[in-house]
Structure 1
């Protein structure tokens, strides 16, 4: 059910109507800019797509905590909500990048949303913060490239010693730690993931 969401064509009219209703003329303009990003990068290499998408959201999205932005302690925004509001937290950046890369033809099996503990203040620091990034896996067991809302470069995970993975997931599965095989249907474990997918379908994805 949820995997089909990723392969389906966008309902452009419904998406535009959603943006118009929620974010007005400015929202429509942002949606068209995002659509242009997809059109202009459709025939690029995977590496070029990754860089374009990471740069686009990092440059056009302001980091704002959920409690301030959405008046909720932990809210996962749809890509339209992130685009329309021009703001979000680490989960919102990651979700928007994930679905944009899927629209650019990158297969779900190469992408995972990764929950990490981010080490703040250097390698000797004992301060850790919950964080989410997007990983691109060239092969299932490859060291992934990391798309991070806090860092402009897309480095390999082995160069990001500040990030300590806890679990990862995509539309098809959920991995805990270094687990080789995913648990099928992450929506059974992640209610916020199920909720954001449901809201995306209502918006026109």
Structure 2
């Protein structure tokens, strides 16, 4: 994302506070491992050899993937505190953590077998969402996964007392309409009460 309200917030103290609220302990990690075991199930036999997370924060998804996948992991994260924690905790090396944003990914076309977001598109303003999807699509060679808050219609939600920092919509529909080469492989819902995650809807696409 170019300079905008959302990016300014996540690069600054608002993003720092988000990182502090999230804890990479076993109670947080185990639900993520179960989540990724389910999401990757359709890829058994064609497991991705390299995976990009766009908006990794302190790396709960990266940490979970390390336990169930042999793929090389790469992360993009605009918040410097979160990037440093990824490195300090040994989740990723400095070379595999990039200061970048969803709409300007510093990678060549078709670099990653799987590129994904989890709880990131909800924080991208509607006017910037298309470019972010285009970039994720560009750097993925095979698969795209999106795991976000769902709504039948686009709606802005007040987030921690601030407007313009959280949006809900049918992200699966947005992806399919934006990139008609995508094939829906699987989708599902993680119910907070049963999973220990937020209420998340996910879609797994394959590039046709």
TM-score normalized by structure 1?
0.28
Q: Which structure exhibits the higher relative contact order, with contacts defined as CA atoms closer than 8 Å and separated by 6 or more residues?
A: 1
TM-score normalized by structure 2?
0.28
